[in-house]
């Protein structure tokens, strides 16, 4: 999934985070215990709420910015492993 971007940083962040939070909720309610969730996130303020949600439901939550990502890009990835049953 990807939100339509408009070039306005805050709007793009909120649209992306809305989709990621929906996907995280779906994963929490539908993955088998031990399942994993990965998403591309745009930094911008509400990403800490997402991390807190994932930490409540997964045993390990990490975030990473791949070397291939531009340094000025606000994108990063969240990796949540081990859905708690």
Let me know if 40 is a catalytic residue.
yes
What does the block give as tokens for 55? 């930490």
Kind plus residue range of the DSSP H or E element containing 81 = strand 75-83
* Pairing outcome for strands 37-42 and 58-64: unpaired
69: left (phi over 0), alpha (psi -120 to 50) or beta: beta
The residue from 9, 40, 55, 62 that is catalytic is 40
Any idea what the Cα angle at residue 22 is, between residues 37 and 40, rounded to 5°?
A: 50
So which residues are the catalytic ones?
A: 40
């Amino acid at each position: 999934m990807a939100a339509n971007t408009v070039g306005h940083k805050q709007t793009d962040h909120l649209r992306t985070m809305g989709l990621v939070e929906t996907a995280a909720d779906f994963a929490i309610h539908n993955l088998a215990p031990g399942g994993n969730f990965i998403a591309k996130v745009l930094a911008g303020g509400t990403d800490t709420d997402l991390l807190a949600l994932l930490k409540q439901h997964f045993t390990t939550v990490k975030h990473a910015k791949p070397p291939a990502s531009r340094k000025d890009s606000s994108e990063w990835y969240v990796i949540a492993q081990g859905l708690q049953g």
